[in-house]
A and B are shown apart, each in its own frame.
Chain A
Amino acid sequence: MAKLILSMDGLVLKEINLTKERTTIGRKPHNDIQIDNLAVSGEHAVIVTILQDSFLEDLGSTNGTVVNGQSIKKHFLQNNDIIELGKYKLKYLNETPVGVAKAADFEKTMVLRPGATKPAAAPASAASAPAAPAAAAAQAPASAKPFGDTVAGQGPATTMPPASAKPASAPQKSAALQLLSGANAGKELDLTKPLTTLGKPGVQVAVITRRPQGFFITHVEGASFPVVNGKPLDAQAHALNDHDVIELAGVKMEFFLKA
C-alpha cells in the first residue's frame, strides 16, 4: 500500500497510509492531512488513489503545490516523489513488492468486475484465490492439453540459447563487423540495433541479435547457411566471440567487440 511521510526540516512528523479513495490535504481541520501553517491553503490539494496508483491534484491553492521542485496542477505520483507545501514535505512511497515469488503473485492478471462494490475492494477478493502448490504445477489437466495437430502450442522454445534471468540492464558491450572481402572490404558496421540483418533478401540472410548475454547470429532465409570460423551453422542461434570470422553470401567479415 502507498503511504506518505510528512516531515519538516528533516524531522518526520507523521506517516499516512493512503487507504481512502480521496485523501485531502489542507490547513482546515476537516482535511485528512491537516497542516496548520499559513503557507498552506484551507483546501490545498487532494490525492486520489485508484488501487495501486495515486494522483495528486492541486485544488487551486494560493501558493501552489510543488513535486520534485516543479509546480504541478495534476501529477501521477511515483515512488519517492517529494511533495512540497510551504516548509512541509510529503514523501510518497509506493514500493513494488520485492522478491521474485512475491512479484509474480502481485502481477497475476485479475478481473476487475464492474459489479464490485468499490474498486479498492476488488484486488483483495481476487487475490484470495488459493495459491498454487508447486508440486501440482507439473500435472496439467487434460482439457488444457494441445488439441490435435491444429494447436500450435509448444513447450519452452528449445532452439534458443538459454536466456539469462538477469534484466537487460546488465553491462552491454558494443560490437562491430569489419568486412574482409568484397567491394566494401575494410568497411565497418556498428552493431547498435537489437537486430541487424546481413546478406541479400531472397538469396541469403542472417541476423545478428544483441542480447544481454552477448551477440548471436541466426540464419533467417536462403538455401545456404552462414559459416562461422569455417564451420557452417545450423538453424540454431550461435553465440559470437571476439574475432570470429563470418562468411555470408560470398562475403567474409570479422566480428569484434569494442571497448
Chain B
Amino acid sequence: MTLSGALEIASCTDPGMVRAHNEDSIASDGEKGLVVLADGMGGYNAGEVASGMATTVIITELQQLLEKRTPYETDASSGQLIAHRLLHEQIAKANTSIYQAAQSQPQYAGMGTTLVVALFYDNKMTVAHIGDSRLYRMRGDELKQITKDHSLLQEQIDSGVITPQQAKQSQNKNLVTRALGIDPVVEPEIHDHETQPGDIYLLCSDGLCDMVGDEDIGLALQTLSSNLKLCAQHLVQTANDNGGRDNISVILVRVLREFPAPRSMMGKMMSWFR
C-alpha cells in the first residue's frame, strides 16, 4: 500500500546554539506514511547512538513490514489493530537493541532516547510516544498538543501540584519518566486520531517547545503553510534566536488529500456480515 501524494513532509534538525553535537534523530517515509523523531540522552556520544538506533530500527523494520501487512486490519490472534501491533513490536525491538548496547558497552551505559512515531493510513494516524518529544496538530487556526509528555512536570500538572503556567517557570523541565533503552521493557503510549485534508502535524523535540511558545509555533504553521520546508526552518531558527539551549528537531506533515484504505468489494461484504 502506498500513500503517494497524500502527505507532504518537511523536516529540519539542528544542534542549537549551545550543544556541540546533535543527539536528535529524525526519519520519514512519505510513501509508507511514516515519520519518526527521537531525542537521545546519555553522556559521551551515547545520546545520538540511542536516538539513531531508535529511528533506524523503527523506520527500516516498519518499511519492510508495511510491504506485507495492512495497518488498518485487525490482527486475528490478538484482536489489536495491525498498526498498533507493528508499532508495539518494533518499539520493543528498538528498546531491546538500545538496552543491550547500553548494557554491553561501557561507553553507552545509561543511554536512552525519547520517541514519537506517527503512522498514517486509512484517513487516520496512529501515534506512539515515549518521553517528552511531542506531536501537535494544526487544524484550521487551532494548534493542539496531541501527545502528553511522560515527564515529572506533566505528572505534577496532572496531580494539581502546579499549574501549566507555573510549569513554564519550573526548573525540573528536563526530567522524563519514560524513555527507550533504559529498562528491559518499555510501554509506549499509543492512540489513534482521525485526520483531515489540510491538517498539519508537527513532531518536535523539547528543544523547540521549550524555546518557542505555542503562539509563535501556531503563527508559523499558519503563515508559512504554503512552504513547509521554510516553515520547518523558520521554527528551528526561532528556537535558536530565543537561545537554542538544546538540539532542535522538527518534522512537519501536511495531509494533502484523503487516503482511505483500498478495501475490496469482497472485504466490504465480509465486514457487513461480521
| Assembly CA distance A55 to B53 (angstroms) | 39
Name the interface size band of chain B. Answer: 35 or more
B77, CB-defined interface residue at 8 Å: no
Q: Which residue of B lies closest to A76 (CB)?
A: B166
Contact partner, A109, options B114, B161, B219, B242, Cβ 8 Å: B114
* 8 Å CB interface, B1-25 against A: 9-15, 17-21, 25
Q: Which residue of B lies closest to A100 (CB)?
A: B18
| Assembly CA distance A236 to B54 (angstroms) | 33
User: Is A152 a contact of B223 with CB atoms below 8 Å?
Assistant: no
A96, CB-defined interface residue at 8 Å: yes
User: Is B13 a contact of A154 with CB atoms below 8 Å?
Assistant: yes
User: Is A140 a contact of B27 with CB atoms below 8 Å?
Assistant: no
* 8 Å CB interface, A18-69 against B: 50-53, 55
Do A109 and B132 contact each other (CB < 8 Å), given the known contacts A94-B171, A151-B26, A220-B226? yes
**How near does chain A come to B210, taking the closest CB pair, in angstroms?**
8
User: Is A156 a contact of B182 with CB atoms below 8 Å?
Assistant: no
B233, CB-defined interface residue at 8 Å: yes
Do A153 and B13 contact each other (CB < 8 Å), given the known contacts A111-B176, A195-B224? yes
B144-159 vs A, Cβ < 8 Å mask (1 yes, 0 no): 0000000010001000
Neighbouring A residues of B46 by C-beta, 8 Å: 129
| A-side interface residues, number (CB < 8 Å) | 69
User: Is B245 a contact of A107 with CB atoms below 8 Å?
Assistant: yes
A117, CB-defined interface residue at 8 Å: no
Question: Interface of chain A, helix or strand or loop or mixed?
Answer: loop
A130-144 vs B, Cβ < 8 Å mask (1 yes, 0 no): 111110110111011
A83-91, A161-169, A225-233 - interface stretch: A161-169
| Assembly CA distance A175 to B151 (angstroms) | 41
* Given A151-B59, A157-B236, 9 additional A-B pairs, CB 8 A: A109-B176, A111-B177, A113-B183, A144-B25, A144-B45, A150-B29, A159-B233, A168-B241, A221-B227
Point out residues on A near B: beta carbons under 8 Å.
50-53, 55, 76, 78, 94, 96, 100, 103-104, 106-114, 119, 122-123, 126, 129-134, 136-137, 139-141, 143-147, 150-154, 156-157, 159-160, 163-165, 167-168, 193-195, 197, 201, 205, 207, 209, 211-213, 218, 220-221
Chain A to chain B contacts (Cβ below 8 Å), 22 pairs: A53-B171, A107-B174, A111-B112, A112-B152, A119-B152, A144-B25, A146-B27, A147-B27, A150-B29, A151-B27, A151-B55, A156-B14, A157-B14, A165-B17, A168-B242, A194-B219, A194-B238, A195-B220, A195-B223, A205-B226, A211-B241, A220-B226
